[in-house]
Amino acid sequence: MSQIAEQEALRTIAGKDEERFLSAFFVLYKTARLVDKENNNFQYQSDKFYDTIKPLFKKFGSAELKIISSRFFVNELMVRFDGAGLSGANNIIAEWNSLGVGGVCFDAELSKDEADRYFIFMANIKPNSENLDPLSEKLKENSLPSIQLFSKAIEGVDGSILTEEMRRQLRSQARSTFFKAMSVVQEVVVNTQTDSEINISKTKRVVHSLIDQISQDESSLIELAAIKDFDDYTYAHSTNVAVYSLTMGVRLGLDRARLSQLGFSALFHDIGKVKLPTDLINKPDAYDENDWIQMQRHPLLGAKTILRNLKFDIHSARAARGAFEHHINNDFTGYPMLRLEKKETTLFSKIISIVDSFDALTSGRVYLKKSIQPEDVIKKMQYQMKVKFDEFLLKLFNDIIGVYPVGSLVLLTSDEIALVLANNQTDKSRPYIKIVGNKSGILSEPVWTDLSIDENKYRSIVRKIEPEQHRLDIKDFILEN
């Protein structure tokens, strides 16, 4: 299943033509800053650029490049980079941000000379010195009629007014990252079971993809974490814990190195369970006392497994501590019981402890064999605050989950049913949604809309609805394209 979903996710990602165009664009953009138009290297790169733009003119009649939420879209298709392309990309993002530029469009009439003059023109602009209007004027003065600049405000860099197509692509990318993370967890589990080598760099890479995704688009991964009935829930649980933990980490402003360690710790928090009998882990009934005694060994088993099977470094050291501490509780009433030294748990353990409880309780698959609605879980957790959880971190997590959690179904005053796609930070009661049904039944084409815009004044959320009561499967709505 994960493979199919991944393939689907890749469909809206740009192909080789768009990648080549963007990479030639970056190189020429940079070259123009260093040398003038007559320079041989400039001419060589310019020829390359002109060659790469032609296939796009043939396909689309124009070549449009936009930056949205720090991602590059060529003719509305998202382009991914490897590490090498990234530095060029980051420079342009920073520069365009300060200029207020959101993108550029080249018409098919573009001549090579006009393209050259555009790159030289951009190279001579001092960042922070202009905004879009005078820039566009200057483009005209320089007689560059086939080139048009876009403002970043109109194009929704803040993510609130993304076009439906672009939002779809961000979600597709999130989906691909999520399933990749799940399959990495699966690989780690299998390798731990068989005591084979664990591929640490692969795990770190997937954590970095999760960080990239969350830094730019908080909601799409959380939406996937809302699916609780994956066949491979054990793997999904660790992925969900990583998604929620990293979302907390990003909101806390942790730097990339710490985020990487946090994500790594979260993915490994339950690795000790691998050493317990599978019958116990998959037991459908409630645990008896003996089961609990067994189960409570997993934090210590986890720490031992990590220290024994992984190379010792800052990642594995922090992960071992996270695995050991994630059920200890804020006041040490949890497990393992510490008799002697009761040292305060680390920030990572406190974060993992909160999001782990949330995911376990909402799934009804881990300890309690009955799922509880997110808002009831938050209430329950607030009741246990201070005893079990850190007060400030729980408040932050509550803010992330919001009034209408991403991935939940809601009933609207218009008698429509919608899936919550993204929280609106300024008004939590009016999120970005996807309308999936109305009085007559499920829509064949869902409608994506933002409840905070004027046009939706007549639509408000009446209440959350539980999908099972209407024989609906939330997964169908979250995973559909």
DSSP H stretches of helix in 364-465: 374-383, 391-401
* CB closer to Fe ion, 356 vs 390: 356
How far is residue 37's CA from residue 43's CA, in Å, rounded to a whole number? 7
Give contact residues for Fe ion (rule: CB under 5 A). Answer: 270, 356
410 three-class SS = strand
Residue 268: phi and psi, rounded to 5, are -100, 5
Q: Least distance (Å) from Fe ion to the CB of residue 133?
A: 53
Q: What angle do CA 344, 350, 352 make, to 5 degrees?
A: 145
The distance from CA 366 to its chain's CA centroid, rounded to whole angstroms, is 24
What is the DSSP secondary structure assignment for residue 373, as one 8-state letter?
-
Q: Least distance (Å) from Fe ion to the CB of residue 26?
A: 42
* CB closer to Fe ion, 223 vs 356: 356
Which residue pairs from 47-54 have beta carbons closer than 8 angstroms and sit at least 24 positions apart in sequence? 47/112, 48/24, 49/21, 49/24, 49/25, 49/115, 49/119, 50/112, 50/115, 51/24, 52/17, 52/20, 52/21, 52/23, 52/24, 52/25, 53/21, 53/24, 53/106, 53/110, 53/115
What residues form DSSP beta bridges with 434? 419, 448
Greatest alpha-carbon pair distance for the chain in Å reads: 81
Nearest to 428 by CA among 446, 410, 455: 410
* CB closer to Fe ion, 116 vs 356: 356
CA dihedral 93, 94, 98, 100 (to 10 degrees): 10
Residue 277 CB partners (closer than 8 Å, separation 6+): 294
Tokens describing residue 313: 């470094």
E strand intervals along 18-174: 62-68, 71-74, 77-79, 101-107, 147-151
Nearest to 396 by CA among 201, 263, 249, 218: 249
How far is residue 277's CA from residue 292's CA, in Å, rounded to a whole number? 13
Work out the end-to-end distance of the chain between its first and last CA atoms, rounded to an integer number of angstroms. 15
* CB closer to Fe ion, 31 vs 247: 247
Q: Least distance (Å) from Fe ion to the CB of residue 415?
A: 39
